Structure 1
Amino acid sequence: MSLGRATLNQVLYFVGLKYSSPTVASALNNTLPAVTFLLAALLKMEPVAGRAGRAKVAGTALCVAGSMLMTFYRGPLVRTLASPVHWPYVQGTMAAEAAAHAGGHAVVLGAVLVIGSNVAWAIWFIIQKNLSKSFACPYTSTALMALIASVQCAAIAGAAERRFSAWELGLDIRLVGALYAGIVASGMVCTVMSWCIQERGPVFVSMFSPLMLIVVAVVGWGILGEKIHVGR
């Protein structure tokens, strides 16, 4: 369980985010309900017959088509007001990333990695639902998952990055990012999701992931100065 949700999901997502952008990565998260529904249908956890089943299949197809459109089609630039936030660190980082990945296959690679993280996430939804039947303690299971995932992520990071300077945390954005990812993204979010899966099932929880696109688009414009195109 920890390998799917906390390790593979986050490692693949963060690497995919590096090669794309926050808006693209969050747009591809719209495939999460589709992947979850397909897995649940294959495992006989969700009905596909009848009017409700056909509606879910149609929604799944529309979800995937929309995610692909938003990822690979930009379209004309939408004129918006300039962001009031001017963060020199972010501006320099965004310019460096754009120059490093210009003209390459970075967007495609980032998309594949983010979709792979969604598959790992969907598998966790299914496992968590089955686990809740025999171990109805979402807070305990989240704590155990985070503990095991810490060891797994440390092993992967140690093999991928051996420079000691890469592990240094000062009073800067790296420390804030690490604390936020650990406390909010892994701790609070996983705990709430585990409880919701136990109460309403995996497909119900995954249906709310598209809301993240709206939040990320606004925050990405406000903090990162991202441009919004018609395709998104």
Structure 2
Amino acid sequence: MALKAFTSGDLYRRFKPHLLMVLAQIGYTFLYFITEASFEHGMNPHVYITYRHIVAGVVMLPFAYFLERKQRPKLTIALFAEIFILSVLGVGLTLNMYFASLRYTSPTFLASMVNTIASLTFIIAVALRLEDLDLGNPRVIAKVVGTLVSLAGVMTMTLYKGPIMAFTLKRYPAQLSLTTWMSFVGAAQSAFFTVIVEHRKSAWTMGFNIDFWSTVYGGVVVSGLIVFIQLWCTEVKGPVFVTMFNPLSTILVAILAYFVLGEKLYLGSILGAAVVIIGLYSLL
């Protein structure tokens, strides 16, 4: 019995990162649907981004403050400028475009597009000479083929019915604190942008309905809990391990969209998703 208990505990410790990443992808899957329901209810995507990251910043602030007091470096003007740019690319600009596109596409398409992040990152890294393009190296050839196949899969789904900012992490290694700063700065940037494009004061009003719950879910679960899970798994298993689970969300979204929302599942969607996943794993 003792040996069995030890074996079970050992298996749990061994596969704990895998289990957490599966739960994270399930969390992302529900995010697509709850935000789409909120947008159909009338929630402005830009207001949603602003409120969501205010919630995320407030939730993560005490954890960042108490857990990283000794490792948090001094915030200089230059470092804050880097965080500001990182917030633009990671929150203010990217997420506003990301969720605005949900109004014009579908959860399945949006989840599939996430799988191109690794491919596009590789292309940008090569263009900026952060990655060597040695075609005599089999590993590089696999990356190139995986990139092309992954992008081809997205094109199939569509038509057939900056480098990674790791430089800031090196200068500001307190990840929880960095995420908290990005949440607050990104929320401010999103609010500034929203004021320009949205002149209705009523758009900022939120009742105790799907709009409220989608904001709380996005802020607490996704920008809080899931980000923490990804940071922990990245530290334990590495960033490639975390990226490998992205296709799971694509599959789950496609299944739920078909059975729950009655979204039409075209042959091109199935083939495109399969090609994207194959390309992604070839790249990784």
Q: Assess same fold via TM > 0.5.
A: yes
Judging changes above 3 Å, is the alpha-carbon distance between structure 1 residues 39 and 208 closer, same or farther for their aligned structure 2 residues?
A: farther
- Which of 244, 251, 254 matches 1:217? 254
Does residue 162 (structure 1) correspond to residue 199 (structure 2)? The answer is: yes
C-alpha distance in structure 1 between counterparts of 2:147 and 2:111, whole Å = 17
Structure 1 partner of 2:141:
54
Structure 1 partner of 2:211:
174
Judging changes above 3 Å, is the alpha-carbon distance between structure 1 residues 189 and 213 closer, same or farther for their aligned structure 2 residues?
A: same
Does residue 145 (structure 1) correspond to residue 230 (structure 2)? The answer is: no
C-alpha distance in structure 1 between counterparts of 2:122 and 2:237, whole Å = 14
C-alpha distance in structure 2 between counterparts of 1:73 and 1:45, whole Å = 34
C-alpha distance in structure 2 between counterparts of 1:17 and 1:9, whole Å = 13
- Following superposition, the deviation at residue 186 of structure 1 comes to 2.5
C-alpha distance in structure 1 between counterparts of 2:232 and 2:164, whole Å = 13
Structure 2 partner of 1:68:
155
Structure 2 partner of 1:6:
91
Over alpha carbons, which structure has the higher Rg? 2
Structure 1 partner of 2:19:
none
The superposition leaves residues 10-51 of structure 1 with CA deviations (integer Å, 9 ceiling, x where unpaired) of 100111111111111122222211111112333444443210
Judging changes above 3 Å, is the alpha-carbon distance between structure 1 residues 10 and 130 closer, same or farther for their aligned structure 2 residues?
A: same
**Ranges in structure 2 where 5+ consecutive residues have no aligned partner:** 1-85, 270-284
Judging changes above 3 Å, is the alpha-carbon distance between structure 1 residues 197 and 41 closer, same or farther for their aligned structure 2 residues?
A: farther
Structure 1 partner of 2:37:
none
Matches within 5 A, 1:79-94: none
Does residue 31 (structure 1) correspond to residue 116 (structure 2)? The answer is: yes
C-alpha distance in structure 2 between counterparts of 1:31 and 1:2, whole Å = 21
Does residue 126 (structure 1) correspond to residue 126 (structure 2)? The answer is: no
The superposition leaves residues 79-123 of structure 1 with CA deviations (integer Å, 9 ceiling, x where unpaired) of xxxxxxxxxxxxxxxxxxxxxxxxxxxxxxxxxxxxxxxxxxxx3
C-alpha distance in structure 2 between counterparts of 1:208 and 1:33, whole Å = 12
Judging changes above 3 Å, is the alpha-carbon distance between structure 1 residues 194 and 167 closer, same or farther for their aligned structure 2 residues?
A: same
Q: Which amino acid aligns with 1:56?
A: K
Count of matched residue pairs: 182
Aligned-residue sequence identity (percent) comes to: 35
CA RMSD after TM alignment = 2.4
- Following superposition, the deviation at residue 221 of structure 1 comes to 2.5
TM-score for both structures, normalised by structure 2: 0.57
- Following superposition, the deviation at residue 153 of structure 1 comes to 0.9
**Ranges in structure 1 where 5+ consecutive residues have no aligned partner:** 75-122
C-alpha distance in structure 2 between counterparts of 1:149 and 1:210, whole Å = 27
- Following superposition, the deviation at residue 191 of structure 1 comes to 4.0
Structure 2 partner of 1:105:
none
